[in-house]
């Protein structure tokens, strides 16, 4: 019997497959797969491209062109930057079996050779999660307290995201106030570590406690909720900047520093350095994003039939922000400047309610939907697990950061919101 004629072969994720087709009509025959090729480690050089690097390693121009064309929808190879490491698996014929390009310490592009064409996916570097509790007393700011403890100051932004609906952290916090955070830390196989999700948070402001826990409803996106299941999020945020200082409040009679006359000031001025990001305080439609005499560069956002907000004296607008576009709550819409009638870099933030100017800092804004009754049991179990870990750490000592065990996420007997 003459030997079977091989008419095709299949590549696996890395290396040639052992699946061989024959013209005998008897189906596929399986033979031992070739040894997995050893990876070649490389790095994108200065003024170099992925094409340049692969050609230097012996990959043919046709092979590189085929790979990049067939995967360009998954990844734009023009975005490759100096210093990005990569691993190449190739055979002696200069054919790519697979390619891994690390686009960040936490993400990579994985290219695989298929039967007919190359495929590419954006994947996350595997990581391990540890849990930490940090507690601090505020003497200057949360940012300064975290910095003094050697903890990532980016956690201050998380605190603002959680409590910024009800507290203006730049104005309301006082010396002696306290905070506590239960959060994840991710350690990637690349050795990179970063802050993960904040699971629970607590602020004591002027003796009053504010608590929040993170929960993912069955329908909807994850958010932060008070201990009774009410949403911490409002329909509008309290302030459009992070960690800024109020330089002038809403007033019916204020001496204008440029015009030198007394007149109403229907906004709140936030002093900040030029270029500081400005964020939309609610979802809405951009009605204006242009220059207007005294307002300078300003953005006007229509949120619903009740609210409109104005952001004045900007140095510029964020990419894509123009009349007719929709923006989301927390989306960057511009940058602090001093355009128009202004003596220095700041943002004048204004709000209209039902067509009339109002003080945005004094409004009792409606909250988003609470936890539904059929999810309260699940929410309460997660809440109690998070708070249990946080308060265990606090009992061991204050003004410190502690590694804790993973939250059990189960109802603990006798543990309830009333204990806190």
| Domain limit, last residue, from 108, 124, 140 | 124
The parent domain of residue 352 ranges over 245-358
User: How do residues 359-392 score in pLDDT, each as one tens digit?
Assistant: 888 777 777 889 999 999 999 999 999 999 999 9
Residue position matching structure tokens 């990844």:
75
CATH number at residue 90: 3.10.450.350
Output the six-digit token pair for 22: 């024959």
| 138 and 209 co-located in one domain | yes
For residues 344 and 264, membership in a common domain is answered with yes
- The pLDDT assigned to 37 comes to 65
75 found inside a domain: yes
Residue 16 inside a domain? The answer is no
Mean pLDDT score, 266-282: 90
At 296-354, the pLDDT tens digits run: 999 999 998 889 999 999 999 999 999 999 999 889 999 999 998 888 899 999 999 98
What is the residue-averaged pLDDT of the chain? 83
Domains held by the chain: number: 3
What is 126-139 written as a DSSP string? Answer: PEEEEEEEEEEE-S
- Mark whether 263 and 164 lie in a shared domain: no
Residue 32 above 70 pLDDT?
no
pLDDT given at position 33: 45
pLDDT value for 247: 61
Residues 206 and 254 in one domain: no
What is d(CA 223, CA 29) in angstroms, rounded to the nearest whole number? 54
CA torsion angle 78 81 84 90 (round to 10): 30
Residue 238 falls within a domain, yes or no?
no
For residue 160, count other CB atoms closer than 10 A to its CB.
Answer: 22
Q: In the prediction, which pLDDT does 5 show? A: 32
Phi-psi region of 354 (alpha: psi -120 to 50; beta: other; left: phi over 0): left
Determine, yes or no, domain membership for 21: no
H or E stretch at 155: helix 155-163
For residue 79, tell me if it sits in a domain: yes
């Amino acid at each position: 019997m003459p030997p079977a004629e091989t008419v095709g072969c299949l590549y696996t994720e890395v290396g040639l497959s052992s699946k061989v087709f024959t013209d005998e009509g008897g189906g596929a025959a399986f033979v031992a797969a070739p040894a997995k090729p050893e990876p070649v480690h490389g790095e994108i050089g200065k003024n170099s491209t992925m094409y340049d690097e692969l050609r230097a390693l012996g990959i043919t121009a046709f092979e590189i062109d085929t790979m990049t064309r067939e995967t360009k929808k998954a990844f734009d190879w023009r975005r490759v930057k100096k210093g990005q490491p990569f691993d190449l698996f190739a055979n002696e014929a200069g054919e790519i079996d697979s390619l891994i390009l690390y686009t960040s310490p936490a993400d990579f592009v994985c290219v695989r050779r298929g039967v007919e064409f190359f495929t590419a996916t954006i994947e996350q570097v595997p990581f391990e999660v540890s849990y930490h509790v940090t507690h601090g007393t505020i003497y200057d700011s949360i940012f300064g307290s975290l910095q003094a403890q050697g903890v990532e100051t980016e956690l201050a932004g998380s605190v603002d995201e959680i409590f910024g609906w009800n507290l203006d952290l730049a104005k309301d916090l006082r010396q002696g106030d306290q905070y506590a955070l239960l959060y994840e830390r991710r350690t990637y196989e690349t050795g990179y570590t970063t802050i993960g999700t904040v699971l629970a948070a607590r602020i004591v402001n002027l003796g009053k406690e504010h608590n929040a826990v993170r929960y993912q409803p069955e329908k909807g996106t994850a958010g932060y909720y008070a201990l009774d299941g009410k949403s911490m999020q409002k329909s509008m945020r309290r302030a459009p900047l992070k960690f800024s200082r109020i330089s002038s409040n809403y007033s019916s009679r204020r001496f204008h520093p440029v015009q030198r006359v007394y007149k109403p000031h229907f906004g709140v001025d936030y002093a900040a350095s030029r270029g500081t990001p400005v964020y939309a305080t609610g979802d809405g439609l951009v009605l204006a994003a242009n220059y207007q005499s005294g307002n300078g560069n300003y953005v006007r956002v229509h949120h619903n039939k009740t609210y409109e907000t104005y952001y004045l004296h900007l140095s510029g607008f964020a990419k894509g922000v123009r009349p007719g576009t929709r923006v989301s709550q927390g989306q960057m819409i511009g940058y602090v400047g001093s355009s128009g009638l202004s003596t220095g870099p700041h943002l004048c933030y204004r709000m209209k309610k039902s067509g009339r100017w109002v003080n945005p800092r004094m409004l009792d804004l409606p909250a988003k939907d609470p936890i539904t009754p059929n999810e309260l049991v699940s929410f309460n179990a997660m809440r109690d697990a998070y708070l249990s870990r946080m308060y265990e750490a606090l009992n061991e000592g204050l003004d410190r950061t502690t590694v804790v065990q993973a939250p059990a996420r189960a109802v603990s007997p006798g543990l309830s919101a009333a204990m806190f």
